[in-house]
Amino acid sequence: MGQDHRLSSVALDEVSLAAASRDQEQERQIAIFDLLEANYFAPAGADGGPYELRLALADNRLVFDIAGPGYARRHLLSLTPLRKVVRDYAMVCGSYYEAIRSASPQRIEALDMGRRGLHNEGSSILQARLTGKVETDLDTARRLFTLICALHWRG
């Protein structure tokens, strides 16, 4: 019985991905890189990984397809609890990316603090939604939240 509770690969469904700016694409790539460098990902009922994760959207739900040694599960999560924080996060990120090109350091810092606060809120909601399905640490939840924001939100 292995105890290797971590992700070894993460893929985003290409059909679900939103069009991304260069900043957003870079953030997505960094999130995947950081996630694979260090993460804690323990699916309920699994003996140990490592695991492969595919994130997608289907029928207005977030899809977590998880595969590992002797383990394969699909978890569908409602987008409703995450929708507002994702929308707010996207708006603040847009303002932040604009500000880093021309705004004062104080404005950039204020936007970054707001962005981090929304990111933490989204990560906490995600961890709560995954309760009983997958256990993660906060850093893993934060990086997963970044990737969820990269998916195309319908509706």
> What is the tens place of the pLDDT at every residue in 69-97?
999 999 999 989 999 999 999 889 889 88
Token pair for residue 84? 């507002």
pLDDT of amino acid 121? 96
- How many angstroms separate the Cα of 18 from the Cα of each of 2, 90, 129, 152? 36, 12, 23, 4
Token pair for residue 140? 């893993």
- pLDDT for 155 beyond 50: no
- Return all residues near 17 (Cβ < 8 A) that are at least 6 apart: 150, 151, 152
pLDDT of amino acid 111? 92
Task: Look up the pTM and report it.
Answer: 0.87
Domain spans in the chain, listed from the N-terminal domain onward: 7-150
Each residue's pLDDT tens digit, 105-135? 999 999 999 999 999 999 999 999 999 999 9
pLDDT of amino acid 45? 92
- The stretch 3-20 carries a mean pLDDT of 82
pLDDT of amino acid 14? 77
- What residues does 17 pair with on adjacent strands? 151
pLDDT of amino acid 90? 86
- How many angstroms separate the Cα of 101 from the Cα of each of 55, 79, 80, 107, 114? 32, 32, 33, 11, 18
pLDDT of amino acid 154? 44
- What residues does 77 pair with on adjacent strands? 62
The more confidently predicted of residues 36 and 60 is: 36
The more confidently predicted of residues 128 and 27 is: 128
